[in-house]
Amino acid sequence: MNPHGWALKNPWAVLVGSLIVAVMGMRAFLTMPVEYFPDTNPPQAAVIIVQPGAAAVDVNRRITEVVEKELSSLSGLTKLSSTSRDEVASINVQFGYEKRIGEAVTDIQNALSRIRADLPEDILEPRIYRITDATRPVITLSVRPKPDAGLSLGQVRLLVDNDIKDELLQLPNVADVDTFGGHKLQVNVWLDRDRLEAYGLTSQDVVTAVAEYNITAPAGFIESADTERLVKTVGEFRDLWDVENTVVKQTRDAYVRIKDVARVELGIEDLRSLYHGNGKEAIGINVLRAEGGNVMGAIQAVKKALPTLMENYPQLAFEITNDQQPLIERNTSGMRSSLYMSIMLTVIIIFLFLADLRTSAVSLVSIPLSFLFALSLLGLTGQTLNVVTLSGLIIATGMVVDATVVVVENIHRHQRLCPEEPIRCVEGAVGEILLSISAGLLTTVVMLVPIMFAGGYVEQVMRRFTLTLCYALVGSLLVAVYVVPPVALRLIRHPSGPRQKRANLLERMAIPFNRAVEKLGNGYVALVRQALRRRWLFLGLAMAAFLVTMRIVPQLIGRDLMPPMDSGFVNVLFELPPSATVRQVEKTLKTVEGIVQKEPSVRMISSVVGSEPGEVSFGAGAQTAQKVTMVVTLTTRDQRDRTIWEIQDAWRKEIATIPGLRSLQVYEYGATVMSTSRAPVDLVVMGGHSPSLLWRTAVELRRRLEGIPGLTDVVPGWWPDKEEVRVEVDPRIVRVYGTTPGQVARSLRLAVGGIPASGLRLSGFLDVPIRVAYADPWVKDPKVLESLPIPTSQGPVPLRTLARVQEETTQTLITREDLTQTLNITAFNTGRPLSHVLARIKDVVTGMALPGGVRIKMSGTAADMQESMQRVMRALLLGVTLLVVLLIGTFRSFLVPFPILVAIPLATIGSMWGLLVFAKPMCMPAMMGMVLLAGVVINNSIFLIDFIRQSLAQGLSRQEAMEEAVRLRLRPVLMTTVSTFVGMLPMILETAVGLERMSPLATAAGFGLLAGTFMTLVITPVTYSLLDDAAQWIKKRWG
């Protein structure tokens, strides 16, 4: 028994199945997690290693290079890059998508354990951080003391790092909490050089005393017959008084205490980082969700807990400075509105073509059931509702009714022929077009399937889209075959009498439109007659249109990985010279914040100065204290008068006038599609063995890049002007004084940078470090530093006796990629497609005479674009190949697929001109639209060819069969085409925030479908007749 025949005989079973699908789909719709964009990051991890007091060049030589060489042998590695700055090595390890992040982290841990003995002894324990989409905070809070609270930021940081962080970690859907902003409390023991010398003490004596008088040490266990008890020794500092009165030296007459040789205070660590929330200095808190966790759930949990936090800490002011919720809610509500608009427009189009409320109602059964079928499968497979999946549903709106419309229209037409036998009539009508609608669905799915396995970024983004679309299309076919026949049997009747008399008011209003369609059909039949008389002329015109389009339009529209998007988030990055102090940087930051806050659409500002190792969500620890990253949240684009790019241009011009800035970059969130890219344009100057050679090449390259249209914010990755004090120890002299260069280095380290001697326990908090160092007057200047006493076996000796102190300049950072030192030149494109900018850059690079061993590699979005385009093209070729095989098997002919496939280049003409009219670049979504188009547009050709073959089998001549196919199939073809196009209109017009990312897909598919359909109705019969003549000639010639 055929499937539709079974459905006609078992309507209750069909009803039960439909209700099950509806319940599962509604449950998935209401419970699926909601996010803005799916996680598309490749597996990557950051290795952070801290060596206190070490210079960047030493960190690079002794840590970074050693670690890189070991990590470079890991399986699945695709990119290895690093940044070394003073005290911190940050190594980024990136793997292919096929490697699981857990496996990658384990491999890195094993590699580090193998080389741990080769690393310096004084490094802190290496830390490994997984870098995923969950690393981006879902919400950022700023905490500062109220004006009358009497609290310092150091005390606030202590509360945030302990009590407040603990409370946030207990919230549902919250996986981790990062804190930032400097002002970490510590007990500072500031040594006085003169007093130490007067008492005959060294700095190490003070460190030893602090450590010896502040201990908690286990002694072991006492065991008896029936119990076991732990014994421990406790002798801890209770407060600063205990620290001050610690005995450093005991003489016959008196004790020498710490307060006699040093000043003790509860202060903060040296400021290397700051945080500003909405323009005010504060402590920042980033709340992170779990990998694959619920974004909205985490945000709502934090916001629900905020009133309680404010009540528990009345002396603190809490503010939200970065929040994904408004964008997600605005996006999802806009996408849902666009979806509802698509459904409404599709309903109107179907009714206009059918002019029958009952018949239209049958057609509309497919939309909700197909969507609920797709949603239930998405929910079962763990997907989320986001821009990509919702875009798939919007695109599917017009497509899911295609099969149903064809079935309903055929039933409606057949009932005029056999009104007395409704069951036989419906079964025959569905059976007549079952092959063509099944083949039409399979052609679309066959074109989409290769994208699901394209690999790389293409697969990560588009697989969710194609899955959503395929689920909906499969659901629509099931609805058309199983649900529509029994429903049509009960709703569609063909009563006698003139149509105008039996129609209601709405149906009568649609009759003029139907008459116009009938006239269009007659016009098309006449056009087909003319085309069949002048077949080569019409075919030549179509080929000429295709060649002219492909020659002109691609060069005009350009290429990009993804289209620009007004996300409402702006990143402002600027840097000051390395000689600037943190407070000088903060002064400049306040000026920039003042400029930004003049814009009325600004909602929130989150500003980060410098970096803190371990707080990955605020930066991986490689950012110097002179670099600032601001994230500015604007109202969504439908709530302001200016675009994000107009606002950025205004800010860029005004901020650039601030004195002291050495670099500035202003760009929207999403300007770099992949988190692994630094910028759309990333030129990596690499090779050679001299940093000065890299710098000279980069300076020349930067000079040549200035002035390229559409290229802005050209900035080098590092500068060679960081001042450094070099203490060069003479090994022969230190031997004379009975010491070693190592002992000199340790003394110098204690004097300048200080060392943590112990910790002060605070009830309910983590221990506060006790740091011993010389007071600033004794180490603030290189000349003063020369007189620093260095302990030796012959007594204290001035540093200048043992070493030469000199000043020099070096790099602010040391960057490496693929085991080679590099200097990155990053820039952004604005107002022009990336391919147009890259063409000019390529000319610049080609025209440069590079020094020996130096080369320039293109990285960033440009490299990602090239790889993604290649993947899409391979998927398209595979899809077309599978399509040909499917058509050969369906029609059992090697010739029939060719007139069907002619629709693809014809549709490409419409796609290209549509992209040009709407100013969209050829990008990954646009190419995806063409892949989709190739599977959809040939459905109309399949309907025509299938009907022609059926008519020929019934005895009609070829000319009559072609004209009859155009006349009878015009209405369903136009209905499916126009309904599909109208369903795409909300995405083409970008009616929802976030649709900019996917609108080229709808533009390419929609306009290609329109153009392809209208040309296919003429060119397909022409091509079929030519191939048929060729087949007849071959048959006559060779029998």
Mean pLDDT of 444-465: 87
What 523-531 contacts at long range (C-beta under 8 Å, 24+ apart), as own/partner pairs, is 524/966, 524/967, 524/970, 524/1017, 524/1018, 525/963, 525/966, 525/967, 527/1018, 528/962, 528/963, 528/966, 528/1017, 528/1018, 528/1021, 529/963, 531/1018, 531/1019, 531/1021, 531/1022
User: Regarding beta strands 803-810 and 797-798, do their DSSP bridges make them parallel or antiparallel, or are they unpaired?
Assistant: unpaired
Beta bridge partners of 275: 608
**HEC string of 199-218?**
CCCCHHHHHHHHHHCCEEEE
- Domain 13-36+328-492+518-562+866-1038: CATH class, spelled out: mainly alpha
Beta bridge partners of 143: 283, 318
Between 335 and 571, where is the model more confident?
Answer: 571
Q: Where are the domains of the chain?
A: 13-36+328-492+518-562+866-1038, 42-131, 185-268+723-810
Mean pLDDT of 33-53: 86
- 185-268+723-810 has the same fold as 13-36+328-492+518-562+866-1038: no
Q: Does residue 59 contact residue 87 with C-beta atoms inside 8 Å?
A: yes
The residue with tokens 């979504």 is: 925
* DSSP string of 849-867, one letter each residue: -PPTTEEEEEETHHHHHHH
φ/ψ bin of 365: left (φ > 0), alpha (ψ from -120 to 50), beta (otherwise): alpha
Separation of alpha carbons 530 and 512, rounded Å: 27
Q: pLDDT tens digits, residue range 933-978?
A: 888 888 778 878 888 888 888 888 888 888 888 887 787 788 888 8
CATH of domain 42-131: 3.30.70.1430
Q: Which helix (H) or strand (E) holds 415?
A: helix 387-417
Q: Does residue 140 contact residue 606 with C-beta atoms inside 8 Å?
A: yes
* DSSP string of 536-583, one letter each residue: HHHHHHHHHHHHHHHHHHHHHH-B-SS-----SEEEEEEE--TT--HH
What pLDDT is stored for residue 620 in this prediction?
Answer: 64
Q: pLDDT tens digits, residue range 270-281?
A: 888 999 999 999
- The percentage of the chain sitting over the pLDDT mark of 90, rounded to a whole number, equals 42
What pLDDT is stored for residue 206 in this prediction?
Answer: 93
Reply yes or no on domain 185-268+723-810 having CATH 3.40.50.9100.
no
Q: Does residue 346 contact residue 398 with C-beta atoms inside 8 Å?
A: yes
Q: pLDDT tens digits, residue range 337-357?
A: 877 887 888 888 888 887 777
Q: pLDDT tens digits, residue range 252-269?
A: 778 999 999 999 999 988
Between 1028 and 175, where is the model more confident?
Answer: 175
Separation of alpha carbons 440 and 434, rounded Å: 10
What pLDDT is stored for residue 419 in this prediction?
Answer: 63
Q: Where are the alpha helices (DSSP H) in 954-998?
A: 958-988
Q: Which of 67-81, 392-406, 573-587 has the lowest mean pLDDT?
A: 392-406
167-183: buried (b, 16+ CB within 10 Å) or exposed (e) per residue?
Answer: ebeebebbebbbbbbbb
What pLDDT is stored for residue 417 in this prediction?
Answer: 64
- Tell me which DSSP letter residue 41 carries: P
Q: pLDDT tens digits, residue range 483-515?
A: 888 888 777 655 544 444 456 777 778 788 878
Q: Which of 8-12, 478-482, 892-896 has the lowest mean pLDDT?
A: 892-896
User: Regarding beta strands 569-575 and 627-634, do their DSSP bridges make them parallel or antiparallel, or are they unpaired?
Assistant: antiparallel
The mean pLDDT of the chain is 88
965-979: buried (b, 16+ CB within 10 Å) or exposed (e) per residue?
Answer: bbebbbbbbbbbbbb
Read off the pTM: 0.85
Q: Which of 122-126, 796-800, 945-949 has the lowest mean pLDDT?
A: 945-949
Res. 815: pLDDT tops 80: yes
Res. 331: pLDDT tops 90: no
What pLDDT is stored for residue 190 in this prediction?
Answer: 94
Enter the tokens of residue 853. Answer: 């061993």
**Helices 203-212 and 741-752: crossing angle, nearest 10°?**
70
Mean pLDDT of 791-802: 90
920-938: buried (b, 16+ CB within 10 Å) or exposed (e) per residue?
Answer: bbbbbbbbbbbbbbbbbbb
* pLDDT tier for residue 1029 given thresholds of 50, 70 and 90: confident
